[in-house]
Amino acid sequence: MSNKVRVQTKLNGHDVEFLAEPRQSLLEVLRDTLNLTGAKEGCNNGNCGACNVIMNGVLVNSCLVLAVEADGAEVTTIEGISLAGELHPLQKKFLEHAALQCGICTPGFIVSAKALLDKHPDPTEHEVRMWLSGNLCRCTGYDKIVRAVLDAADSPELEATRA
């Protein structure tokens, strides 16, 4: 077994240091070392998007990032999306539209949608569908998810999250 390496990150706005074996994925360390179990392991090979996090402003599959690669990086997980204890507009709209059933895909969808709205605040339905094509959902049939994201994009509260 390889030696553990010290990794320093800015995780959801806080300085966080951890030890990781080089072979461990960021997803594994988030869930098993740091107890941030919001990111889910669906496929562990980049296809489902349940593990998505935002790393240095870029949406990535945390199952396809080595934890040691996060050294010096800023990482936002689903746990860092809410604002001072209040749900993010995307989270509210997912609830309002009942855009989930079992919920295993939901953190990944919300993190992906957050990255979309950070880059394109006013997306078309086509843009939303293309952007979310790397997130799989076995339950909802996607339509409610797309409605929730479009509705969040229109919500005045979203403006406020940018200020």
> How many other C-beta atoms are found inside a 10 Å radius of the C-beta of residue 22?
12
Residue 100 interacts with, from another protein, ligand FES, ligand FAD, none (CB under 5-8 Å by kind): ligand FES
Q: For the CA atoms of 109, 111, 114, 120, what is the dihedral angle to 10 degrees?
A: -70
Residue 98 interacts with, from ligand FES, another protein, ligand FAD, none (CB under 5-8 Å by kind): none
Quick note: the x/- pattern for another protein over 54-93, rule CB under 8 A, is: -x--xxxx-xxxx-xx-x----------------------
Tell me which residue has tokens 């949406």.
59
What is the rounded CA–CA span in Å between residue 124 and residue 25? 34
Q: Residue 86 — φ and ψ, nearest 5°?
A: -105, 145
Quote the least distance from Cβ 144 to ligand FAD, whole Å: 24
What is the rounded CA–CA span in Å between residue 91 and residue 109? 10
Which of positions 23-82 make contact with ligand FAD (CB under 6 A)? 45-47
Residues that bind another protein (CB under 8 A): 1-2, 5, 21-25, 44-47, 49, 52, 55, 58-61, 63-66, 68-69, 71, 112, 115-116, 130-135
